[in-house]
Chains A and B, each alone.
Chain A
Amino acid sequence: MKKISTIGLSSIKSSLIKELMDLGVVEISAQDSKLTDPEWISYVKKDGNEVEVLDCDAKISKISEVLNSLEKYDKSKKPMFFTRKSISSKDFENAISDLSKTEENVAKVLEMNKSFNELSSEENKIETAILSLKPWASYEIPLELTETKYTSIFTGVVPNIVDVEKLKSDLREKTDRCIANLVGSDKDQHYFSIICLIKEKDDVYEILKQYGFNTVAFKDLKGTAAQNIVQYENNLKEISENKSKVEKNITDYVPYKEQIQLFYDYLVIERDKNKILGNLLNTDSTFYIEGWIPEVSKEQIENVLNKHQCWFEIYEPEEGEQTPIAMQNNSFTQPFEAITELYSLPSSSNIDPTPYMAPFYCLFFGLMLADVGYGLIMAAATYMVLKKFKLEGSIQKLMRVFFYCGISTAFWGVMFGSWFGDAIPAAAKLLFNSDFTVKPLWLNPMEEPMTLLIVSFVFGIIHLFTGMAVKAHILIRDGNPLDALFDIGFWYGLIIGLILLLFGNTVIPGSGQIGKWMSIIFALGLVLTQGRAKKNIAGKLISGVLSLYNITSYLSDVLSYSRLLALGLATGVVSSVMSILGSMGGRNVFGILLFVVVMIIGHTFNFAINALGAFVHAARLQYVEFFGKFYEGGGEPFKPFTKKTKYNRIIKEEI
C-alpha cells in the first residue's frame, strides 16, 4: 500500500472523481484531523454535498421498497445464487439517459403499495370488530336500542369465574322487573344483556358491579349484532377483492423491475460520488485528496492524474502507520483468502497467512472427509456453480475453496479405499454375493488406525513448524534475527531432539542418543535465552526455566491433530453403518430398493454432517494451532472508491 496526496483545480473535480470511480483502485480517506490542524484550517474547508446525499438516500430507500414488493410478486423462477447482471458502461449510460418513465413507474408502484397497506389495515380493523361482535351474535335486540320509555337496555361482560345462577338470583331478590339474559360464554367471560326499569337501573347496576360487571357499548352500530357481522363480512370480501386487484396491478409492473434496478444502481453511484466529496478538502479554487493505492495500480493512477493536470505525490506510509489491507495471492491460494477473512484480516505489521495456510487447509479437509464419492460430488457441484453463475466476493472464493477441498477429499478417498464408504463391496455382496473389495491405495484407517494417527501427528508437526517458520520470517524481516534464533530455532531443536529421543531408535538405531544431546543442549539454550527481557540474573533464570513449561503447549497442539484421524474414521464408520442397514432387506426386490433408499438418504446425511465437521475443524486447526504461532489479525480492509452497484455489474469496454 502507498499513500497518495493530490491537489487539483476545482474545475476538473467532478470529472476526476468520475474517473477515479471508474478505476476503482483508490481509497479516499477522510481528512477530519486536518480540519482541526491550525496549519491547515486557515486555508481549507470541508467539501461535501450532504443535501444531495440525503436526497439520493431517500430515493434509494423508496426504490428498494418498490423492488422488494416487485420481488414478492415476481413469479419467475429465482436462481440459486444471486448474481449481478453484466452490462457495458455504454448500455448503462443509455439506459439511465431517460429515467422519467422509470421514475413514474416507481411512483405508481409506491402509490399502489400504499393503497395495499391501507386496505390491509382496514382489513385488520374489521377483523377485530368481527371478533368483538361474535359473542353477541345471538343477541337479537338492535344494538342502537339502549332505552325504551320505561326500560333501560344494556349489555356487558362478567368474568368467566362468576356463578351465573347466583348472579341471576341476586338480581331477582332485588327486583323482579329485571331480565338478565346470558347471551354467550367463552373461556374468559360471560356475555349478558340486561333489561330493567330506568328508575331501578342504579340498584341493578350496584349488584352487577359486585360481580365485576363491565358494560360493553356499541358505538355507531345499527341493527343486530348478527346483521353487523354479515355487513362486515361483506366488507371484508370487498376489501380482499380490492387487494387482489391492487396486487394484480403491481404484478403488471414486474417487467419494469430491471429498469428500476438500473435506476437504483444509478442513484447509488450518484450518492457515493456526492458522499466522497465529504472526504475532500477545498480552497477557493482547488481541492485536496488524500488516500491509499495498492502498489500495482501506481501507473494507472499517475496517468489519470497527469491527464487532469493535478499535482500529486505517491509515498510510503510512515513507520508503524496502519495501512488498509488488500491481500494479493496467486490463483490457487487466492480463494483461501476467504478463510483468512473469516478470521480477521492481517494487521499491517503482520503478514498475509493465506499462501502458507492454503495447502494445509486443503490437505486437512481432505483427510477428515476422505471419500472419493463425496469429493467428486463436491468438486463437480462447485465447478458447475462457478461455471453457471458469475459469483463475486467471498461466496465465489468459498466455492473455489470447496472445489479444491473436493479434489483433496477424493484423493484421500483413493488412498484409504473409500468410495461412498464401503457402498461398492456392500452392493456386490447384496447383488452377487461376491466378496469383492476396493483395495485402498495406501491403508485402511479402520484396520491400521495407529499408523494414521502417527501420520496425523507428523502432519501436525509440519504444520506447526511452518507456522513457527513464518514467525521467524517476520522476526528476521523486522530486523530481529537473534529473536528468531532463540525463540524459534531453539524450539525446533528441542522438539526434534525430544522426538528423536523418544521414537528415534525405532526408526534409525542410535538416533536416540543424538536426540538426547540435542534435547539437553537446546533446553539449556532456552533456559539461558528465554529470560533475556528480565533485568536481574535470578529473573532471567526463572523465566528461562519456566519457559520449558511451554513444552506442554506444543504437546497439546500436536495432540489436537488427532482429530484428523478421528473425523476421518467417523465418515468411514457411518458409511459402513449405512451399508449394513441397507443390506438388511436381503437379496430381493424389496431388499435392493431398501438398499438404494438407505444409501441415498444415509450418504446425504453423512456427507452433510461430515463436510460441516471437516470445514469447521480444518478451520480450527488453522485459527488456533497455526495462527497461534505467528498471526496477528485486526487489519482494516482496503475499501477503494468504486461503483458499489447492487444489481448490475458495469463493465468498462476497452477502447
Chain B
Amino acid sequence: MNNILVSGNFLAILGASVAALAGIGSAIGVGIAGQAAAGVVAEDPKKFGSTLILQALPGTQGIYGLLVAFIILNKIGLLGGSMAELSAVQGGLFLAAALPIGVVGIISAIHQGKVAASGIMLIGKRPEEIAKAMVYAAMVETYAVLALLISFLMINGIAI
C-alpha cells in the first residue's frame, strides 16, 4: 500500500482520472446554461432548438477529458487487457500530461457555461443573433482546445 504512490501504473491511471475530471466543469457549465435556457423557453417554446445548441457548447470539455483519458488508457494497454509495466517516472509523466485538460477543462467549461447562459439570454431577446452568442462561447472554449492539444502532444511523446 505504501508504494502505490510510486507505482507507475497507478500514476498513469490517476492521470487518466484527472483528465476525465474535466467533465465536472462541463456538468456545471451545461447546468448553468440549461437553467437559462429553460427560462427563455418558458417565454417562447420555439427557441428550444437554438437554446439547446448553446447549452451543448460547454459540454465539449467533458468530451476532451474523456478523449485524453482514453488515449492514456489505450497507450498503457489497460483497454487491451494487458497493462504495460510502467516505471514511476513514466506513470508520473502521464499524470503530468493529463493536468492541462483536467484543470483547464473544469475551469473553462464553467466559464463557458456562464457565457452560454448569457448568450441564451441574448437570443431570448434577439433570436437572430445566435451566431454571435455561439462565437462568444467559442472564445472561451479556445483555451480548452489548446489544453487538449498540449495534453495530447505530451502523451503522444511519452515513450513506453
Contacts and interface: CB of A to CB of B under 8 A. Distances in A.
B63 A569 contact: no
A617 B156 CA distance: 24
B79 interface: yes
B58 to A, nearest CB: 12
Interface string A453-488: 100000000000000000000000000000000000
Contacts of A378: none
Contact of A623 (B135, B145, B152, B153): B135
A620 B138 contact: yes
A51 to B, nearest CB: 32
Contact of B146 (A562, A569, A577, A624): A562
B139 interface: yes
B67 A574 contact: yes
Given A563-B142, A616-B57, A616-B134, 12 more contacts: A339-B131, A342-B130, A342-B131, A453-B149, A563-B149, A565-B149, A570-B64, A574-B67, A580-B79, A612-B53, A616-B137, A624-B135
Which has the most chain B C-beta neighbours within 10 Å: A342, A343, A450, A453? A342
Contacts of A609: 56, 59-60, 63
B153 A577 contact: no
A115 B134 CA distance: 45
A540 B11 CA distance: 57
B21 interface: no
Nearest to A572: B67
17 contacts: A342-B130, A449-B156, A563-B142, A563-B145, A570-B60, A574-B66, A576-B70, A609-B63, A612-B57, A616-B57, A616-B134, A616-B137, A617-B145, A619-B134, A620-B138, A620-B139, A623-B131
Given A342-B131, A617-B138, A619-B134, A573 B67 contact: yes
B38 interface: no
Contacts of B64: 570
Interface string A606-639: 0001001100110110011000000000000000
5 smallest CB-CB distances across A and B, nearest first, come from A342-B131, A620-B138, A573-B67, A566-B149, A563-B145
Interface string B114-150: 0000000000000000111011011101100110110
Interface in B31-88: 53, 56-57, 59-60, 63-64, 66-67, 70-71, 79
A560 interface: yes
B126 to A, nearest CB: 12
Given A609-B63, A619-B135, A577 B152 contact: no
Interface string A336-378: 0001001100000000000000000000000000000000000
B137 to A, nearest CB: 8
Given A449-B153, A566-B148, A573-B70, A612 B56 contact: yes
Contact of A573 (B53, B59, B71): B71
Given A569-B152, A577-B70, A616-B134, A559 B146 contact: yes
Nearest to A449: B156
A342 B134 CA distance: 11
A567 interface: yes
Contacts of B59: 609
A432 to B, nearest CB: 19
A562 B139 contact: no
Nearest to B129: A342
A562 B59 CA distance: 20
A183 B97 CA distance: 71
| Chain A: interface size category | 20 to 34
Contacts of B152: 449, 566, 569
Contacts of B139: 620, 624
Nearest to B64: A570
Contacts of B156: 449
A613 B144 CA distance: 13
Nearest to A450: B153
A577 B53 CA distance: 24
Contacts of B70: 573, 576-577
Interface in A571-617: 573-574, 576-577, 580, 609, 612-613, 616-617
Interface in A489-546: none
B135 A577 contact: no
Contacts of B153: 449-450, 453
Contacts of B131: 339, 342-343, 619, 623
A238 B148 CA distance: 65
A623 B137 CA distance: 13
A570 B67 contact: yes
Contacts of B67: 569-570, 573-574, 577
Contacts of A450: 153
Contact of A616 (B63, B71, B138): B138
A566 B145 contact: yes
A517 B36 CA distance: 56
A153 B24 CA distance: 64
A620 B132 CA distance: 9
- Among B70, B71, B138, B152, which residue has the most Cβ atoms of chain A within 10 A? B138
Contacts of A577: 66-67, 70
A393 to B, nearest CB: 12
A623 B59 CA distance: 22
Given A566-B148, A624-B135, A613 B60 contact: yes
Contacts of B142: 560, 563, 620
Nearest to B134: A616
A277 B145 CA distance: 55
A569 B152 CA distance: 9
A370 to B, nearest CB: 15
A577 B79 CA distance: 10
B57 to A, nearest CB: 7
B138 A562 contact: no
B80 to A, nearest CB: 9
Contacts of A453: 149, 153
B71 A567 contact: no
Nearest to B153: A449
A616 B131 CA distance: 8
A570 B79 contact: no
A100 to B, nearest CB: 34
A163 B72 CA distance: 66
B98 to A, nearest CB: 14
